[in-house]
Amino acid sequence: MTITLNTQSPVIGDLVIPIVQTVTLADQLTSLTQQLGLSDEVLQRDFKAEAKEVLAVYGPNGQKTYLLGLGTDPQEMDWLRSFRKFFFDHKTKLPAQLGIELSAFNGAIIEGVVLGVRGGGYDLKLYQTDKADGPVFFSDAGELTLYVTAEQQTTAQEALTRAEAIAQTQRQMLDLMNAPANYKNPQTLADWTMASGSQYRYAVTVLDKAELERQKLGALLSVSQGSDVPPVLIIAEYKPEGVPNPRKVGLVGKGVTFDTGGVSIKTSASMHLMKSDMGGAAAVLGTVEVAAKLKLPIHVIGIVPATENSTDGRSTKPGDVVTAYSGKTIEVIDTDAEGRVILADGLGYMMRNFQPDVLIDLATLTGNVIAALGYHAAGMFTQNDTLAAQLTEAANQTGEQLWRLPLWDVYQEDIKSDVADLKNYSGKPIAGAISAAKFLEVFSEKHPAWAHLDIAGMAFADTEFGSQKNATGFGIRLLIAYLQLLLAENK
């Protein structure tokens, strides 16, 4: 399906008209009565412009118009979700050609609209053998026209370009996250990154098990010991051409392609969802690719320690002491607190080899952050107020929300070990997300602009795509918005 802009008024054909619920709603509906062939009384009665509300009307010439409610004061995420649900629910009924009337709105909202449209075409049935042919609208024959004014065109085109770049990458990340462990492993992530780097011209290095052993990434290796599938460290580096001394942003993402919990094994009830434990990796790899696609004038390094966390006779046992890449020793109290252990090597490798100006890690790290914030925000931990404000601004812009939690030194006691430099788990049923962040802070080597994002409640969630939790792609839009904020501030 192709998407184009048009500065002419729509004349004929099926059309979607988004409507915001404002004090002028009655006047807006009255102005549509002749176009829709309805009486004002009927339209006022049947459509209230509530968020995601849809009213379908056949016009006098046989064309079909959908009124799509957006609720009051819709933000980018509201546009995205309203359009995603509309196109997901109606995709089998839509014609090959469709228009959306957007001339009454700022051109910037097109990013949310396009991401919603593209998202509505997502098919979670990755391995079903009896799937029917896909909807014609989302086939190569599909054509979507976005009607804007001439004054909107420049802003709208920028938003469309950005949205298309993000949507394509995000779809691939959804597929990777939704894939079960027998269809993906650490090397699968490495192969994807190498293919992406080749296509979009950024550097990719993959350290295999032998190289990890040679360079002594003992924390990552310790988590992988119980699996027949070898671990890798993926290093993706996008450096813009012709930009002198660009800002350098380091991103580290947890890439556990399946997590049994190891010897500290999880209960079976939800273990099948642990194919999602690579949400941080998806955000990091996706962000590097989108930055390269958009040719952002900023240096971005993504590092993903990738492994399975399985269990057999070789598995790391509770009480074992392992040595990280940085030289720090870790007492492994709980093998199911493995994400922070592999991130220790990811952060250490980033600091020792790249010295970024900004360092951000993302991980589906703790159930405790879900207990604190539910499924509406990721936990943000940083000692840097400026970085916290920038990430919060990006979160508010995209709707991928963050909430700052404390990193007070009093929590340092929770990771104090009797036999090693630190331990990976406090053993307490409280403040687990904070103690995990304090653990990671050690391996950030006191970087003045470091932030940890615990995305456990956001990367895998209930959506319209399926009957159980599935991937959301959380983090890519957030990080791209953050990078663009950095660029705007440095102009």
Binding residues for Mn(2+): 254, 259, 277, 336, 338
Residues tagged in the binding site annotation:
254, 259, 277, 336, 338
- Residue at 189: amino acid letter: L
Distance between CA 118 and CA 373 in Å, rounded? 28
| Structure tokens, 316 | 């790391």
Distance between CA 195 and CA 177 in Å, rounded? 17
| Candidates 91, 184, 293, 340; catalytic one | 340
**125 Cβ contact partners less than 8 Å away, ≥ 6 residues apart:** 131
Distance between CA 193 and CA 189 in Å, rounded? 6
- Residue at 368: amino acid letter: N
- What is the H or E stretch that residue 363 is in? strand 358-363
Strand partners, 145: 4, 99
Say if CB 471 and CB 173 are below 8 A apart. yes
| Structure tokens, 245 | 């001394």
Say if CB 107 and CB 79 are below 8 A apart. no
Bridge-based pairing of strands 450-454 and 378-382 is: antiparallel
93: annotated active-site residue: no
Nearest by Cα to 324 from 347, 304, 301: 347
Say if CB 21 and CB 50 are below 8 A apart. yes
340: annotated active-site residue: yes
Say if CB 308 and CB 182 are below 8 A apart. no
Q: How many C-beta atoms surround the C-beta of residue 214 within 10 A? A: 10
Distance between CA 121 and CA 144 in Å, rounded? 13
**488 Cβ contact partners less than 8 Å away, ≥ 6 residues apart:** none
Helix axes 153-178, 476-489, angle to 10 degrees: 140
| Candidates 239, 266, 404, 469; catalytic one | 266
Nearest by Cα to 445 from 335, 320, 347, 322: 347
Distance between CA 168 and CA 159 in Å, rounded? 14
| Structure tokens, 144 | 């979507």
Nearest by Cα to 359 from 249, 247, 237, 483: 249
- What is the H or E stretch that residue 168 is in? helix 153-178
* Residue 317 DSSP code: -
Task: Please give the span between the terminal C-alpha atoms of the chain, in angstroms, as a whole number.
Answer: 36
**143 Cβ contact partners less than 8 Å away, ≥ 6 residues apart:** 1, 2, 4, 96, 97, 98
Please identify every residue annotated as catalytic. 266, 340
